[in-house]
Amino acid sequence: MSATATGLPERTGRAGGAGRAGGVAVRAAGRRFARAPRSLVRVLLVSGTVFLLSSALTFGLGALSGANPAAAVLGETATPADIARMNHEFGLDRPLVVQYLSWLGNAFTGDLGRSWFTTIPVADSIAQALPVDLSIAGLALLIAVLLGGGAGIAAALRPGSRLDRTVTAACTLLGTLPGFVVAIVLVTVFSLKLGLLPAGGYVPLDVDPVRWLTFTIMPAAALSLEAAAAIARQLRTSLVGTLQENFVTGAVMRGLSARRVLFGHALRNAAAPALTALGMSVPMLLGGAVVTQQIFALPGLAQLALQSAEQHDIPVIQGTLLVTIAVVLVVNIAVNALLLALNPTARRRGATARASDADGATGRENGRGDAS
């Protein structure tokens, strides 16, 4: 590979080499972006638009709530001078659009403001609470993938069997059970009756992995069952149809092992609906975490948002909502990128579209050359 293709200048010893290096790097990044599949670029553009609209809505709801730091902190004893002074201190005496642009610009630098009550930076409070949510959600997604994926594959390999009907019935039942109901059942059985697991609390993963697992396994299991049921249903339906495709029959006739046909060919093409269900489960996990964290006394982001809502602490509410939106959008982008990596058809469509555009551009250039 040439030096130019890697984004580095061929000769850096000459004067102005650093400037040319930067220009080459920018052009190389532009070429890589242009070669990116259009579907992924569209997802990035849509996600950016959704983030801006959601941030505006989040900030607008906080501004329209009528909450005031002086009234919230000082109470009924606040004088007009006190209210004016505190409004100026928090920047609430500026136009609403200016407040939003300032808040959003500071958010991109990691500054989400300060709590009205504790004056602690919102980013610091979120940095302490967010790892709890991410660890529990990550463990819940792992359980959902293992449980739902295994059940969906097993049911698809024996369509119409007793196992298939059992998996379908179990998915229907688990899909209707709210996470907090499962959480209460788990606490009653494993904590109160058997005494095997603690009923609440949290220990960080980097402090003691074993104790972290004992504290997070029940809330993660309570949140994972609905996602596991959705994954199993989608994977079973998609895999049953994929196993009947011609390319699977051809792979079997070529003498490939059943394991290789399943995991190397069929599952790769059938995984898209299950991955979509997995991505859609993330907002449900974050939403269900509000009640689940209350049951298990977990100091997570949902608990922080709930306490802030009770106190009308608008900066903390806005910060937690903005971070939650960002997490959901990042997961959505990752799922779409994974879908594209697993789906060769989408890549071929993207390559065909780019080749068609290139042929069209060449034709237009030739047409202009003939006319001249």
C-alpha to C-alpha distances, 294 to 8, 190, 195, 255, nearest whole angstrom? 53, 18, 20, 55
Task: Please state whether the predicted TM-score (pTM) of the whole model is above 0.75.
Answer: no
pLDDT-flagged residues of the chain (< 70):
1-37, 39, 66-78, 287-288, 342-372
- What pLDDT does 26 receive? 55
| 163-221 pLDDT, tens digit each | 889 988 988 888 788 777 888 888 898 888 888 888 888 888 888 889 899 988 998 88
- What pLDDT does 332 receive? 83
Distance of CA 195 to the CA centre of its chain: 34
- What pLDDT does 146 receive? 92
For 168-195, the DSSP string reads: HHHHHHHHHS-HHHHHHHHIIIIIIIS-
Tokens of 167: 């998996």
- What pLDDT does 23 receive? 57
- What pLDDT does 25 receive? 53
- What pLDDT does 343 receive? 63
Query: Do residues 188 and 314 lie in contact, with contact meaning Cβ atoms separated by under 8 Å?
Result: no
Query: Do residues 248 and 261 lie in contact, with contact meaning Cβ atoms separated by under 8 Å?
Result: yes
